[in-house]
Every structure is written in structure tokens, then in C-alpha cells.
């Protein structure tokens, strides 16, 4: 299997997909995705239409050591399988499309898009990261991604925005700050959920609220058909700005689905083409906890 970067609509292989690693997993290990669910290689193989699913050894936890302490128990008890994979009653597969957007630059759209893509790919999903921003930050991040990391496919949709393909499990759209109202309306017609990041600053909060009100003017959003989740990003607990952000998050009219702390770790992983879910180790465990509700939102809305 291979990793691809799409340019336009044509995939160009750039490396090896991590799927072959499934065969290397030892039978007495369990593999945890970001959801905290147990994914045995044999079960995953059956689930993926007979194909090997990407499994990365660095999240394999020996069974005798038990499950990590910090995983919410309701997730461990949830039914197995890649949750959130939408299917029509006919059984036909459908992609889940998530737009990450706001009007402010630097609020964390690319950080959330890339880390979300890495988390869902780590969990065995086939993920397409669509870069809508001429700055090409997501595309460059994908270009740096090591060939043995969980595979993520990429596409640049800057001039013309394409449509997600049904064989992809999750399509994540990393939007530019300068989206016009018409473009937002068009994109919202085919997305399933919208994530709006906001950094703790009075200016960012005011601009974000204006953006959210624009979204609210779209009928499908107003009717609740396109859930909007607001994410506080670069949060420094205990600061006055974090306190104000918390108040802001309670006033948007949409659920606040995560508060992601400010951490140097995000800068470290982005340089390596990785997300925090690609990384094992105790340094990343508390950071991952910030993401559980966001991942839940991405999967089930
Ligand atoms: N939670 C975080 N902790 C630390 N740095 C962050 C965090 N989120 C974003 N950053 C950094 O802030 C800068 C802007 O983030 P980015 O995701 O590129 O924003 P946007 O795509 O909205 O312009 C980047 O350098 C990024 O690494
Ligand atoms: Mg960006």
C-alpha cells in the first residue's frame, strides 16, 4: 500500500502506506486508536473489506500492562470498530467531511486539521487532507510526513474546491482565513460538520463570533443539520485570557468541543510532519486528552 499526495485529482505516490505493518503486530498486543478502542489487527483486517488497515506499532500497548489510565471509560466500553464511519442504509460507504475554518489567521486551523487527520489515520481511517489555503501549510506538512507514519492522502483545492470521494473515511478541509461568504455557503453544502478554532484574544473572539453568525445565516447550520463545534486553542490554564475564552465559548450558541492547551509539542511535531497522536510517550498523554471530545465530534457530530 502506498501514501499518496493528490495534486488536482490525480494521486501521486510519495511513499509507503503503513498498512503492511498489520502483519507485524504480535498476537498478544492490542492496538489503541485515539478513541481508546481496542483494535486487534485480525479484527481490523476483516473490517476493511479484506484489506490490511494501517496500524502503527508505536501505539501498540502490551495487554498485560492494561489500558492507559487516562482514557475515558465510556470510550473503552463503546462498540468496537471505526466509529463515525457513515453508511447509507444500503450499506454504501460515505465519507465524513469536516471543515476547519474561521476568519482569523493563526488561530490553529492547520494545527487542528493536521492533528485531527493524524489521529483519525492512526485509528485506521482512510483520511484525505484537503488544503484550501494558498499558504499550503497542510500540503507542506504532508510532504514532511515520514513514510512509516499512518498514511494520509492530500489534495490541494485552492482554485477550485473538489468533492470528497466516498471511499475516503474522513475528508478534512483546512480552510484559509480569507473565505468569502459565497465560498463558505458553497462548502457548507457538502460538509458534515464544521470546526471553528479560536485563540484566546479579545480580537480573535470578536472576529470568530462574526464568523459564527455568518455560519448561522446558512439554513442548514441554523437547522442544526451541520453541527458547528467551537475549539479554544492555545489555552493557558489559569490565565485571565483563558478565563475570558471560557466565557466566550459559553456564548457562541454552539457547543465548545475542546480546549487545546498551548504547547511547544505542537511546534515540534509539525516540523516532523507528525501530529501528537503519532507520538507515544507520557509527554503527549495529557495533550491527547484535550482532543477526546473533538475526536468524538469529528466521528459522530
Ligand atoms: N495549541 C497550540 N500550541 C502551540 N502552538 C500552536 C498551537 N496551535 C497552533 N500553534 C502554532 O500557532 C501558529 C499558527 O497556527 P496555525 O495552525 O498555522 O493557524 P492557522 O492555520 O489558523 O493560520 C503555528 O505556528 C502553530 O504551530
Ligand atoms: Mg493554516
Q: What is the pLDDT of residues 133-167, one digit of tens each?
A: 999 999 999 999 999 999 999 999 988 888 889 89
pTM: 0.76
- Whether the predicted pLDDT of 45 surpasses 50: no
> CA torsion 129→130→132→135, rounded to 10°?
50
Q: Could you tell me the distance, in angstroms and rounded to a whole number, from the CA of residue 266 to the centre of ligand 1?
A: 8
**Helices 109-122 and 137-144 meet at what angle, rounded to 10?**
40
Among all ligands shown, which has an atom nearest to the Cα of 104?
1
Helices in the chain by DSSP H: which ranges? 41-47, 73-76, 109-122, 137-144, 181-190, 202-216, 219-222, 240-249, 264-271, 285-300
What per-residue confidence (pLDDT) applies to 60?
A: 26
Rounded to the nearest angstrom, the gap between the alpha carbon of residue 32 and the centroid of all alpha carbons in its chain is 16
Convert 63-95 to b/e letters by CB count within 10 Å (16 or more is b). eeeeeeeebeeebeeeeeebbbbbeeeeeeeeb
Atom nearest to 235 CA in ligand 1: 1
* Spatial separation of the C-alpha atoms in residues 154 and 127, rounded to whole Å: 8
Lowest mean per-residue pLDDT among 158-172, 195-209, 226-240: 158-172
Lowest mean per-residue pLDDT among 47-51, 171-175, 243-247: 47-51
Q: Could you tell me the distance, in angstroms and rounded to a whole number, from the CA of residue 57 to the centre of ligand 2?
A: 30
By alpha-carbon position, which residue is closest to atom 14 of ligand 1?
106
What per-residue confidence (pLDDT) applies to 88?
A: 53
Q: Please name which of 130, 61, 121 lies closest in space to residue 295, comparing C-alpha atoms.
A: 121
List Cα–Cα distances, 53 to 25, 42, 48, 121, 123, in angstroms: 12, 10, 6, 10, 9
What per-residue confidence (pLDDT) applies to 28?
A: 29
92 — pLDDT class (breaks 50, 70, 90): low
- Whether the predicted pLDDT of 195 surpasses 90: yes
Q: What is the pLDDT of residues 74-90, one digit of tens each?
A: 333 333 334 445 555 56
**213-219 contacts at long range (C-beta below 8 A, 24 or more positions apart):** 214/181, 214/184, 215/184, 215/188, 216/253, 218/184, 218/185, 218/188
Ligand 1 pocket (Cβ < 6 Å) reads 105-111, 137, 233-234, 260, 262-263, 266-267, 270
The residue ranges of every structural domain in the chain are: 15-76
Atom nearest to 261 CA in ligand 1: 1
300 — pLDDT class (breaks 50, 70, 90): confident
By alpha-carbon position, which residue is closest to atom 27 of ligand 1?
267
The stretch 9-16 carries a mean pLDDT of 33
* Spatial separation of the C-alpha atoms in residues 112 and 195, rounded to whole Å: 9
Mean pLDDT of the chain: 77
Atom nearest to 133 CA in ligand 1: 21
Amino acid at each position: 500500500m502506498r501514501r499518496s499526495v493528490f495534486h488536482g485529482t490525480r494521486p501521486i505516490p510519495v511513499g509507503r502506506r503503513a498498512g503492511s505493518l498489520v502483519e507485524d503486530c504480535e498476537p498478544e498486543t492490542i492496538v489503541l486508536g485515539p478513541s481508546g478502542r481496542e483494535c486487534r489487527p485480525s479484527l481490523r483486517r476483516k473490517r476493511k473489506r479484506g484489506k490490511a488497515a494501517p496500524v502503527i506499532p508505536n501505539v501498540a500497548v502490551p495487554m498485560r500492562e492494561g489500558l492507559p489510565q487516562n482514557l475515558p471509560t465510556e470510550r473503552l466500553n463503546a462498540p468496537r470498530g471505526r466509529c463515525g464511519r457513515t453508511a447509507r442504509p444500503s450499506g454504501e460507504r460515505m465519507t465524513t467531511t469536516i471543515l476547519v475554518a474561521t476568519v482569523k489567521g493563526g488561530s490553529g486551523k492547520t494545527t487542528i486539521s493536521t492533528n485531527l487527520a493524524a489521529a483519525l489515520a492512526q485509528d485506521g481511517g482512510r483520511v484525505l487532507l484537503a488544503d484550501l489555503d494558498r499558504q499550503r501549510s497542510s500540503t507542506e506538512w504532508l510532504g514532511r510526513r515520514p513514510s512509516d507514519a499512518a498514511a494520509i492522502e492530500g489534495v490541494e483545492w485552492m482554485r477550485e474546491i473538489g468533492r470528497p470521494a466516498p471511499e475516503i473515511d474522513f475528508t478534512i478541509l483546512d480552510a484559509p482565513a480569507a473565505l468569502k461568504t459565497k465560498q463558505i455557503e458553497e462548502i457548507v453544502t457538502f460538509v458534515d460538520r464544521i470546526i471553528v478554532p479560536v485563540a484566546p484574544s479579545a480580537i480573535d473572539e470578536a472576529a470568530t463570533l462574526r464568523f459564527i453568525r455568518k455560519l448561522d445565516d446558512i439554513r442548514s447550520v441554523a437547522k442544526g443539520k451541520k453541527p458547528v463545534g467551537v475549539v479554544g486553542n492555545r489555552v493557558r490554564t489559569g490565565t485571565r485570557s483563558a478565563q475570558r475564552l471560557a466565557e466566550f465559548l459559553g456564548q457562541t450558541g454552539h457547543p465548545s468541543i475542546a480546549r487545546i492547551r498551548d504547547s511547544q509539542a505542537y511546534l515540534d511535531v509539525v516540523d516532523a510532519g507528525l501530529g501528537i497522536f503519532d507520538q507515544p510517550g507520557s509527554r503527549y498523554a495529557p495533550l491527547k486528552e484535550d482532543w477526546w471530545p473533538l475526536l468524538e465530534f469529528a466521528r459522530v457530530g
